Structure 1
Amino acid sequence: MGKHAVVIGASMGGLLAARALADHYERVTVLERDTFPAMGEHRKGVPQGRHAHSLLSIGREVLEELFPGFSQEVVAQGGVKSLYASRPLLEGHVRQRVLALPNLRAIERCDVLGLTTDGQKERVTGVRLAQRESGVEQLLGAELVVDASALIDSPWSIVVGRDLRLKEVEGKRSATSHFVNWYLGKLPRAARHDPAVAMAFGKVVNFRDRPKSLLHPRVLWRVLQGNLFPPRAAAAEPRLQKA
């Protein structure tokens, strides 16, 4: 068993990572930049946090395995049996269970300034953090550091960027958002003709890979190539004429 693991970010991803690590490390520390809200209250910085959320069956199975009786708790607090509930309610129950672990502690209202490494810069040895109120910096050593602070950055940027296609939506339209919107418009067309693009696209749609994998140079080139030089339609076979 390891000595100490650090998780940066106390979102659903960070909390579940901390729960998994608690079985394999003597101590787990979760670092969060904001203050934990009360059960059922919205947390600052959560995109679409006020929308209702529904868990897929695999998600429900994982939560039940990590937190036995989780579904019953959520339903008792107003969720539907299929675990159709608000994000604050789901996350609140996960956070409550995680923070109750005897070998876990959470540090709220702190900013992670960077990672620390060994002399050869070959291995991460911990994190540098600062308390928001006092500004006092602190070094926190760890055998493992999990960065769960930006798990949704790519998909969220894509969603917001797609909204900016509409003229009535306010917001800055950068060169990046213009390119991403253009590229996402070409991607399905390339996937219809290129099996490699179709496979990459399918992995993202089915949550088996991250959205930014679609911008890998190999996929990017195939999409651009497929749109610059689209495959020719197959020539129609000549019909036999009756004598």
Structure 2
Amino acid sequence: MELGKTAVVLGGSAAGLCTAGALAPYFDQVLVLERDVLPAEAEHRRGVPQSKHPHFLLNSGRRAIGELFPGFEDDLIAAGGLHLMPSMDAAYLDGEGWSARKRGAMTMIYGSRILIERVLRDEVRALGNVVIREGVSVNGLTVQGGGTRDGAVTGVDFSTYTGDEHVDADFVVDAMGRGSSVGSWLVAAGWPEPEVRTLDAKVTYTSRWYELPSPAERPASWWWQHLVIMPTPDKGEHPAEHEFLVNFFPIEGNRVIACMGSWGIEMPRTTDAFVESARRVRTPLFAAAMDQSTPTSEVHLTRSTGNKWRRYDRWATPPKGLVFVGDSICAFNPFYGQGISSAAMSALLLREHLSRARQLDAGFCSRFLAAQRKELTVPWSLAMARDQGYECAVGTEQVPEWRRRILAAVSGPAFSLIVGAAREYEVVDEHFAKVFNLDESLRDMMTNPRVLAALVRYRIRTALGRHRVPFGFDPQAEPPGTDYSPADANRAASPAAAR
């Protein structure tokens, strides 16, 4: 059922592209307005500086994009994306040492942000009623009855290299990201200043791209494709780099992104400083892997990492004909890899609401904002659970010092407890995978009786030194390539068992 003649999406990044797919069945035309001139291939562009860092496409995001664009996952893999099982394909250093390699509940598709967006652009351009206009600056919105019960957004003013233009719109979606001016335009038109919740844990991360040696040239010990080095639990004296969260992150084209990040620590900005810092992280494998690979970029550093939620859902009279998707409404600390997946889930939620709508009145926008609030609460709570424990964190969600100290003291050990129990108990592994992929809240997981029972059993077995799966392998040595999966898990995963 068509709900209008023209829908306009402000922004052509991942959030805007997913939204265009959601809108296409319900409008005669969907117009995407994008500031950059978009590359034909997977290339960096000015409007997405974070594309130079690793991006996780969580399973919830994979599913959402797949529902919006059937075949997307196959297309992404055909374009070079890597379908991996992290517990088998990643060497993971947590706690005192390397974790064991074994089959797990979670798989992921690895690829660069620029590849994900290129495949998304191809999907959107295949839709006959979607037009992407590039090199466009959005200058404002046309509204009527600003701030009143009948207030509505009715069009968009923009400019191109040929001059100023205007388009009347039945529906507008703000997907312009963290720096969106839409909120300011609405306030100027009569709507109240929205409440904004913030927490900036002073996360800085720095990345450099490398080409891997060919498979024939790689060391025999490189069974892994992804390296993950978690911050040290050691409270004694150690180099600052031991506090880094480190990734040697595989992407398409036999390449990796070497990335180091931290909470509140100055990060290297030059190539020389980057290499020297890499040599001081808590395993020599990271620097050794860099040494055996060929650098293909300079060092890229990002500081814009604060959590920010514009609470448009709390407006008594939100504007008719306008909703928000992606970072324009809720931006997360990028360390947690929630951005693209959260935006895709909002776009899918929008499509579901459009499919049930008879008209796009103020009630539609209120209902969507309320449902979106419930969905955003899951990733927001996960980000708060970690970032509120840092002394350097500032913002409206900063907690009292006594509470911060408790969070700082328990969050690391609690995380290690869950990761350890997931090695040995399938129920913890399954639910932890759901939480990581935004399919379940942390609260729901930690109140599940079966999960709690498994955590208690694991803690008792740890105290008795009775582990089913070894862990804590020497971080100064190569991570063990032995498959410690239970025999039944290997049989279940084998081609013979599948027949």
Q: Under TM normalisation by the shorter chain, which class is it?
A: 0.5 to 0.7
1:187 match: none
- Separation in 2, partners of 1:79, 1:26: 33
2:175 match: 148
- Given that residues 142 and 156 in structure 2 are in contact (C-alpha distance below 8 angstroms), is that contact kept between their aligned partners in structure 1? yes
- Separation in 2, partners of 1:20, 1:56: 19
Residue 77 of structure 2 is aligned to residue 75 of structure 1: yes
2:433 match: none
- Given that residues 18 and 30 in structure 1 are in contact (C-alpha distance below 8 angstroms), is that contact kept between their aligned partners in structure 2? yes
Number of residue pairs matched by the alignment: 193
The 1:139/1:227 distance shift into structure 2, 3 A limit, reads same
Residue 223 of structure 2 is aligned to residue 124 of structure 1: no
- Separation in 2, partners of 1:203, 1:88: 23
Alignment partner of 1:206: what SS?
helix
- Given that residues 9 and 31 in structure 2 are in contact (C-alpha distance below 8 angstroms), is that contact kept between their aligned partners in structure 1? yes
Amino acid across the alignment from 1:117: V
1:166 match: 265
The 1:66/1:228 distance shift into structure 2, 3 A limit, reads closer
- Per-residue deviation, 1:49: 0.6
Residue 184 of structure 2 is aligned to residue 85 of structure 1: no
The 1:164/1:80 distance shift into structure 2, 3 A limit, reads closer
The 1:103/1:147 distance shift into structure 2, 3 A limit, reads same
- Given that residues 6 and 29 in structure 2 are in contact (C-alpha distance below 8 angstroms), is that contact kept between their aligned partners in structure 1? yes
Question: What aligned pairs does 1:1-243 form with structure 2 within 5 A after superposition?
Answer: 1-81=3-83, 82-118=108-144, 120-121=145-146, 122-131=151-160, 133-134=161-162, 136-151=163-178, 159-160=203-204, 165-167=264-266, 203-206=379-382, 215-216=395-396, 219=397, 223=399, 226-227=400-401
Deviations 1:131-177 (A, max 9, x none): 0x23x11111101111111248889996459979435667xxxxxx9
- Given that residues 163 and 169 in structure 1 are in contact (C-alpha distance below 8 angstroms), is that contact kept between their aligned partners in structure 2? no
- Separation in 2, partners of 1:75, 1:35: 25
Amino acid across the alignment from 1:227: E
The 1:158/1:166 distance shift into structure 2, 3 A limit, reads closer
- Separation in 2, partners of 1:94, 1:151: 21
Q: TM-score, normalization: structure 2? A: 0.34
Deviations 1:186-214 (A, max 9, x none): xxxxxxxxxxxxxx997514379xx9xx9
Unaligned ranges ≥5, structure 2? 84-107, 181-197, 206-260, 270-302, 307-375, 388-393, 406-499
2:464 match: none
- Separation in 2, partners of 1:201, 1:6: 27
- Given that residues 157 and 167 in structure 2 are in contact (C-alpha distance below 8 angstroms), is that contact kept between their aligned partners in structure 1? yes
Structure scoring higher RCO (CA < 8 A, sep ≥ 6) equals: 2
The sequence identity of aligned pairs, in percent, is 36
Alignment partner of 1:23: what SS?
helix
Unaligned ranges ≥5, structure 1? 171-176, 181-199, 232-243
The 1:203/1:93 distance shift into structure 2, 3 A limit, reads closer
- Separation in 2, partners of 1:164, 1:158: 5
- Separation in 2, partners of 1:165, 1:108: 37
- Separation in 2, partners of 1:15, 1:201: 23
The 1:77/1:83 distance shift into structure 2, 3 A limit, reads same
- Separation in 2, partners of 1:201, 1:69: 29
- Separation in 1, partners of 2:28, 2:383: 31
- Per-residue deviation, 1:54: 2.8
- Given that residues 2 and 25 in structure 1 are in contact (C-alpha distance below 8 angstroms), is that contact kept between their aligned partners in structure 2? yes
| CA-atom RMSD in angstroms | 3.7
1:174 match: none
- Separation in 1, partners of 2:126, 2:377: 39
- Separation in 1, partners of 2:382, 2:12: 25
